[in-house]
């Protein structure tokens, strides 16, 4: 079986709700199909844009199953499984795998942030990687975790056979360049920052998991394809309108 690679342009799905706060599964499925029709290479369920912190485990499982029905097998279904305890994270990884996820995206525990030392994070991620039935991607998002995953830790964790990549949503290019140093034939580094997508690609990123791609897929895909085809001027031209979109709609206005 060919080893799945992680790249291209993916969309971190929003989670629509009905007035009674139940999941709008019909709307969710419609959105997944629309993102597939727009040409995205995959979707992420239960990420930050999907309001993962507010979802129950049953809701995560249901959303994953609905997405799996709409995402072709040749494209990628990622599921966010981060949790505040290692055992809960492992349980979410197993549930995601049984519901059809191709891989999981794991944000670090962060409620007790002062205790999240490099040894604690190392132990957490190594156990998750050991016990997850599907590949693990690390998730760096200081905006919500209130600390970053250091490049040295990423380099060490990337040696594990089941840790297959990472998503960096910070958009700090000096750090991103150091994350790229851990990239290999096995490990794919992706950005989650739409405002610096073209720059991340120029530094070596294999793609992006971008909220801005949910409503500007044509532009996000053009940035990626132009970079791939060595058309830097076209990549920059497509990137230019993405910057205010990512800053105003994604960052300032947020999920709603």
Active site residues: 167
Please answer whether residues 95 and 131 qualify as being in contact, where contact means their C-beta atoms are separated by less than 8 angstroms. Answer: no
Q: Residue 253 and residue 256: Cα distance in Å, rounded?
A: 7
Q: Which of 143, 150, 177, 153 is nearest to 250 (CA)?
A: 143
Q: Residue 222 and residue 218: Cα distance in Å, rounded?
A: 6
E strand or H helix at 70: helix 57-70
Residues 6+ apart with CB under 8 A from 9: 39, 40, 41, 207, 208, 210, 213, 217, 220, 221, 224
CA 49 to each of CA 30, 197, 211, 256: distance values in angstroms, whole numbers, following the listed order = 17, 17, 7, 9
Letter string b/e over residues 93-109, b meaning 16 or more CB atoms within 10 A of that residue's CB? bbbbbebbbbbbbbbbb
Q: Residue 239 and residue 231: Cα distance in Å, rounded?
A: 12
CA 122 to each of CA 57, 163, 186, 240: distance values in angstroms, whole numbers, following the listed order = 25, 12, 19, 38
Please answer whether residues 46 and 62 qualify as being in contact, where contact means their C-beta atoms are separated by less than 8 angstroms. Answer: no
Residues 6+ apart with CB under 8 A from 140: 148, 149, 154, 166, 167, 168, 169, 170, 179
């Amino acid at each position: 079986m060919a080893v799945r690679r992680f790249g291209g342009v993916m969309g971190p799905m929003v989670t629509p709700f009905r007035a009674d706060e139940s999941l709008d599964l019909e709307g969710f499925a419609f959105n997944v199909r629309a993102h597939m029709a727009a040409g995205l290479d995959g979707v992420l369920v239960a990420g930050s844009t999907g309001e993962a912190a507010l979802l129950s485990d049953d809701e995560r499982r249901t959303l994953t199953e609905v997405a799996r029905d709409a995402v072709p097998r040749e494209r990628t279904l990622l599921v966010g499984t981060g949790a505040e305890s290692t055992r809960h994270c492992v349980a979410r990884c197993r549930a995601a795998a049984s519901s059809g996820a191709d891989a999981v995206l794991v944000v670090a525990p962060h409620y007790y942030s002062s205790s999240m030392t490099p040894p604690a994070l190392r132990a957490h991620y190594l156990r998750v990687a050991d016990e997850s039935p599907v590949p693990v991607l690390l998730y760096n998002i200081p905006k919500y975790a209130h600390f970053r995953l250091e490049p040295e830790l990423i380099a060490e964790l990337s040696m594990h056979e089941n840790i297959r990549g990472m998503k960096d949503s910070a958009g700090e290019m000096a750090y991103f360049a150091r994350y790229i140093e851990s990239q290999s034939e096995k490990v794919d580094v992706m950005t989650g920052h739409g405002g610096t997508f073209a720059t991340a690609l120029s530094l070596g990123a294999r793609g992006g998991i971008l909220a801005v791609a949910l409503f500007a897929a044509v532009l996000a895909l053009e940035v990626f394809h132009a970079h791939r085809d060595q058309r830097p001027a076209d990549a920059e031209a497509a990137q230019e309108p993405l910057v205010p979109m990512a800053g105003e709609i994604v960052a300032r206005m947020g999920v709603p």
